[in-house]
Structures are given as C-alpha cells and as structure tokens.
Chains A and B, each alone.
Chain A
C-alpha cells in the first residue's frame, strides 16, 4: 500500500505575465485528507493546483511529505479536466501502465497493477479499448486509474468532472469518494461546484477573486460518508459557501463594470 503524504504551502505567490495572480497562500493539508479548492473561474484555484503539481513556478515554499516541490514529479499524480491528457494512441491498459513501465516494473507487475486499478475504477472490461472508444466519464476513470497505478503520495484533481454531464458527474463523485476511502489518499480537488465540494471534502477552501487571490475561508465538513446533500447541515454549509463565493463573484463583476450598485 502506498504511503500518502501531507502538503504544506508556505507563503506561496504566483506571478504570470507580470500579474501577481496568487499572493501569500498558507495551507497545511494532512496525510489522507481530502481538500477541495472552491471558487469561481479566475480565482486562482487551478493555478494553485498547478503550483503543487510543479507545472507553474511560484515564490514561497511548497512541500509534499517534507520535500520541496521543484517541478513535476511522480509522487504527485494529476487528474486533468480534459481527457486530452490521455495518450490516444495507447489502449486503456497501456495508458495505465505508462507510469509503472517508466519506473521499471516488469511486464507481469505492470499487468497486475493495471488490472488492480482498472478493476478499482470499474473499467477492467475495457482494458484493450482506445480512449476514443470511451465515453467522457470512462475517460476520466482511466485518468484516475493511471494516476493510482503510479502510487503517488498525493493526488491532485483539476476540475476532473467539469466537462461531464450532471448524471455522469454524480456517479463519478461517488466513485471518487469510494476510492478515497478505500485508498486513504491525500487529495486536492479543484472545483467550482459547491455540492461537489460538500460531497467529497474534509475541508473546503474558498479563494478570493484575483489578481492577488488569497485564501478566503476554510470550512470543515464534519459529515459522515457517503454524504447526503439534503442533510440540513449540508444545506446550511451550502448556503454559507454560496454567499461566500457570491460576494467574490459580485466583487469581480463590479471591478469589470458589469454590475451596478443597485443590482447588487
């Protein structure tokens, strides 16, 4: 079994093209914790995830399991929103075995690993299909299996279900919840969907709208899994997060001159 690690962000700032998009973010994520970064588009939540993934350089310190992040690495698996991240010329099984092969797993080990994780995401029957033959939801399952097969210390998910229809999204949210509980993984999950965050997260982190985006609130979700979104406590939390994000959206609209005072 993989050992999952914690994440620490220490005064993280990101400057892209001369604009400081994220400023001074501190965040501690415990091993095995599920944290959702929630906010409207443009709030820097994906940027922050890309910083942890090592795709975007940042000031301040990013640490995973005590080691400083200096670039992309196998100990941080990433599930992307777009299935373009899959290798379309490789079968489902070959996509999943891509990581294990690099770290030198033998052919039989690779087969064993891909079988285990494809079974976990319910796609073993489609092992020999190409990504183009799968539905959007199945492709995201392949991405999840591919990341799990690499046995990372943390899993980063960048709006993984943002491009799926509502029904498929709901099914996959339950799947991620189940997989998280089965593996004990540390997961950072970016979303703009409040229900999704409440359904999945131990803690929901909302961010203020950039430039100079920072963490606005951190809400603990103390509900047992699997969760019921109609639970009064979930509803209350939903309302609070909605108001919280809504004020940020309004602030951003006002800044762009798209919202007048009386409308607000």
Chain B
C-alpha cells in the first residue's frame, strides 16, 4: 500500500497555479445543476413581466404537462413520434449501411450514385414534406418515409467515408493472409467501418427529431409536432413549451441510449463515444 502511495506521489505532476477564475470552484455535476436552476430562474423572472400567452411561467408549464399526461395526450404523442422515428431510422440504417459500403468499395457504384447523393444532400427533408403527403398520404407512411430519407443520406455518406478510410496496410495484411475480395469486404472493411456507421446513425437520429416535428406539424393528429402545433388552436402556449421540452429530453435520452449501447456492443471496433 505504502509503495503504491509513493508511486502515486512520484508520478503526480506538480500543481500549477491556475489564472484567477479560470475554474469555478465546485464539481462538474454541481455546475450542471447550477446552470439548469439558473436557466429556470431567468425564465421565471421573465414570465413575471410578460403575459402567459406570450411566455407561460415554469409553473404553468408543469401544470400543463400534468394535464396533458393525465388525459394521455402526452404519452400518445411521445409514443407516436418515437415510433415513427425508430421505424424510419431503423429502415434508413438497414438500407444506408449497405449502400455506403458498396459505394465505398466499388468505384462504378460510387460513380453511378454520386450525382444523386450530391444533389439530394442539399435538399432538406422539410422540403419534401408536401411531396411525401401527396405521394404517400397523410398517414404513417409519409412520416416514416421522411425520417428514412433523413437517415439514409447521413448513414450512407458516413459509411462511405469509413470505407475510404480503411488503412491500406490492413487490406494488404488481409491479402497476404489469403483473404479474397469478398472475405476482405466482410472481415476487414465492414468491421473497420463500424465507428463511422455509428457516427452516421447518431447524426441521423438527431436529425430525425428535426424532421419529425416539421412532418407532424404539416400533417398529423398525434405526435409531439402535432401537439406543439395544435396547442396554438387552444391558445395554450404552455403546451407548446411542454412539447418542446419533452422533445429535448426525448432526443437526449435516445442519443445517450444509442451512445451507451454502441459503446457496449462495438467497443472493440473502436467505438468510444
């Protein structure tokens, strides 16, 4: 024990004086809590001076949330939006990953698809909401399709970049160990690309939240986007706040969950948060 203590002291760097106020006293968690409490405080102070239709107070918002929860609207909205996101995003992954790998690996496929990728990457999903409703109707299909569109591009482009970044050395090693083209693709290129796929999936999940709100605002009876939009009809600004805050939490929770899961599942492929 004492030996360990000695080693610790020996290797510790000399303490340097930090410039004044470069570090606030207190731990990181305390700072986070302080930041959130401070934000709510400012919100509360502002709401005292403004009419509730313009800025509802934190208390109004909590009451609005309880109201929406008790009649089941909030749960339904969360479930509806989450369901659309998960289905569209999942399908986007299933399609985007193979396309990205094929585009990265075969030059002719890359050349063939490149014009479309280069064109559509500048067209945000929101621009396609109208078309989606015209073509796929106001039901679930149009929303899922928009999330799918959002996801496919990000996942394809990231996977493609991953394939292009596989170290030449690793491919050479596989070739001299006897791996043919198909085996190299499957046992070297795909595993090497996993961190890029995860990055693409996380970006796509974030963007899916942007897409879902605009899609649901245009055409939906349920979902968080619809909740935010319909609140206007009842002059209930606090419901708008409830919808926005829940969106933020939901997105954060999804991202954390995905990050944690991919770190657990793919740590050995180099996924580290």
Question: Which residue on chain A has the smallest CB distance to residue B180?
Answer: A102
Q: Chain B contact residues: over half helix, strand or loop, or mixed?
A: helix
Which residues of A are found within 8 Å of B172, using beta-carbon distances?
53, 55, 72, 78, 80, 85
> At the interface, yes or no: A180 with Cβ under 8 Å from chain B?
no
> At the interface, yes or no: A150 with Cβ under 8 Å from chain B?
yes
> At the interface, yes or no: B232 with Cβ under 8 Å from chain A?
no
Number of A-B contacts (CB under 8 A): 62
Assuming the A-B contacts A87-B188, A87-B191, A88-B268, are A99 and B169 also in contact, with contact meaning beta carbons closer than 8 angstroms in the complex?
no
> At the interface, yes or no: B170 with Cβ under 8 Å from chain A?
yes
> At the interface, yes or no: B175 with Cβ under 8 Å from chain A?
yes
CB <8 Å contact, A89 and B178: no
CB <8 Å contact, B268 and A102: no
CB <8 Å contact, A85 and B270: no
CB <8 Å contact, B270 and A88: yes
Which residues of B are found within 8 Å of A72, using beta-carbon distances?
172, 175-176
Which residues of B are found within 8 Å of A89, using beta-carbon distances?
191, 194, 268-270
Chain A CB within 10 A, most for which of B172, B173, B179, B188 = B173
> At the interface, yes or no: B183 with Cβ under 8 Å from chain A?
yes
Interface residues in A75-90 (C-beta closer than 8 Å to B): 76-78, 80, 82, 84-89
Question: Which residue on chain B has the smallest CB distance to residue A55?
Answer: B172
Question: Which residue on chain B has the smallest CB distance to residue A81?
Answer: B169
A78 to B176, CA, bound (A): 7
Which residues of A are found within 8 Å of B194, using beta-carbon distances?
89
Which residues of A are found within 8 Å of B175, using beta-carbon distances?
54-55, 71-72
CB <8 Å contact, A84 and B176: no
Least CB distance from B172 to A in Å reads 5
Least CB distance from A51 to B in Å reads 13
Which residues of B are found within 8 Å of A73, using beta-carbon distances?
176, 178
- Offer 10 A-B interface pairs, CB within 8 angstroms, sorted by A: A54-B175, A74-B176, A77-B177, A78-B172, A82-B169, A84-B170, A88-B269, A102-B179, A146-B177, A150-B178
